[in-house]
A and B are shown apart, each in its own frame.
Chain A
């Protein structure tokens, strides 16, 4: 029990104390620094985009993997977890190799004037890759629980396929999509390994918050690093709290 407190609680308190150790004004100055602010805003923006993409992809894949039986289904189902098992640095390297200037896709994109690697699209791809399993794993148990007869009843009563989907199936999946998306979002905010390799890390442009923190530590400015960390942490804690609210409400029903 003591181990638990030392390992988890103490460090988190420590970082809050450190960020405020030189008073509120120093804390605000660190955060209000344009580069820090831009890094945080960029991270939030890209994480939102990545989460939206994952919500769409995850809903589709979760649905297909549960509802349809087709060759290769079990293999695909186990592959879902691959981004969790793969080291994030390896994930970043993969994206670099696949979309980099020397590759087929990278060359094609460059020809039509889109830059991927070392620009925002690559960061989004990295975040999507890393957070891929969350939404799928959150909605699968809900879909398994969903009684097929409800769906069939809707058809029998004359509802169209689209109407059944939006009025019967989607509401069942909604809590799963929401909590999966929240987790994916907070993971996207925190992502470092995959992003640092593909982002190029140009301050004010492609420098995300976690890489910014890393840079501050490297340049021996723990105060600034701690301030931005506290901002990110508070955001993540908020998300975690919302997720547990959603889950406890669902189990309460």
Chain B
């Protein structure tokens, strides 16, 4: 039994050093100069603006990715008009954003849509700025978070099989009706789990957004890029304040994730 004790102890040590101590540290660090400076750090105009930007991005990205992610998963699993080979190819392409460094993801968008390119210049002409503005940042985050929803929903769809759906449509149900009444209830918790993961990822996205946004204070700065800038300016207490808010959100999301995972397993 002593070996067992040793392993469990070691596990606790690793967790403590790697995960728990840092969390406590950030909570303590934000308060180190008193509550007032923590509140001040959060109520700076740039903090409020940055948190608002992050909020907008999270909401828009999660909405778009959920919609298109579920659609693509349906196509890839159920679509009959795609050949098997094309399906397999698309299937492996879905994962690409996971393999791409966020900085590179941001660079791609700058290269494609930057002011010097054809598409970028076109949008600029009609007065719609993409790069160094909100649309580019949303695009970058969309790119980075794209695979999450597809990867959560596809296995569930594969597992439940298509029999029930076929039965429903055979009995005369419209495709839309079939989806809501038959497919949706079984993929529901997979989707919720995907949403939570997408929110977490887009909340924390840093590299891609930093490249695309140009990190202009009070304009295109998000919460994570503000943390970065505060650290670069040796304003650690302020960075800590914003980081604590982000970390609190993440822990909240983690709890939600656990809940969704449990519900997912029941189904």
Interface residues in chain A, defined as those with a beta carbon under 8 Å from any beta carbon in chain B:
1, 3-4, 7-12, 14-15, 18, 57, 60-61, 63-65, 68, 70, 72, 76, 78-79, 81-98, 128-129, 132, 161, 186, 189-193, 196-197, 209-211, 213-214, 217, 222, 225-226, 229, 232-233, 236-237, 239-241, 244
Contacts and interface: CB of A to CB of B under 8 A. Distances in A.
Contacts of A76: 11-12, 15
Contact of B25 (A11, A18, A94, A197): A94
A83 B23 CA distance: 11
Interface of B: 3-4, 7-8, 10-12, 14-15, 18-23, 25-26, 29, 68, 72, 75, 90, 92-112, 139, 142-143, 146, 197, 200-201, 203-207, 210-211, 223-225, 227-228, 231, 236, 239-240, 243, 246-247, 250-251, 253-255, 257-258
Contacts of A239: 99
Contacts of B243: 87, 89-90, 93-94
Nearest to A79: B19
Nearest to A190: B101
19 contacts: A8-B94, A8-B97, A12-B96, A14-B111, A57-B14, A60-B11, A86-B204, A86-B250, A87-B246, A88-B206, A92-B231, A94-B26, A95-B22, A193-B204, A222-B107, A222-B111, A226-B107, A229-B103, A236-B101
Contacts of A241: 92
A15 B104 contact: yes
Contacts of A9: 93
A70 B8 contact: yes
B203 A87 contact: yes
Contacts of B103: 190, 192, 210-211, 213-214, 217, 229
User: Top 9 closest A-B pairs, CB basis?
Assistant: A87-B204, A190-B101, A11-B108, A192-B207, A236-B99, A193-B206, A94-B22, A85-B250, A89-B224
A60 B15 CA distance: 12
User: Which secondary structure characterizes the binding site on chain B?
Assistant: helix
A70 B12 CA distance: 11
B104 A213 contact: yes
B52 to A, nearest CB: 16
B115 to A, nearest CB: 12
Contacts of B146: 7-8
B61 to A, nearest CB: 12
Given A15-B111, A87-B250, A93-B243, A214 B211 contact: yes
Nearest to B258: A78
Contact of B110 (A57, A129, A217): A217
**Most chain A beta-carbon neighbours within 10 Å: one of B92, B250, B257, B258:** B250
Contacts, number: 220
Contacts of A11: 105, 108-109, 111-112, 143
A111 to B, nearest CB: 19
A252 to B, nearest CB: 14
Contacts of A65: 11
Contacts of B224: 87-90, 193
A82 B96 contact: no
Nearest to B244: A90
Contact of A192 (B97, B110, B206, B255): B206
A197 to B, nearest CB: 6
Given A1-B72, A85-B254, A87-B224, A193 B207 contact: yes
B96 A237 contact: yes
B108 A15 contact: yes
Contacts of B20: 79
Most buried by A among B143, B200, B243: B243
B102 to A, nearest CB: 6
Contacts of A92: 231
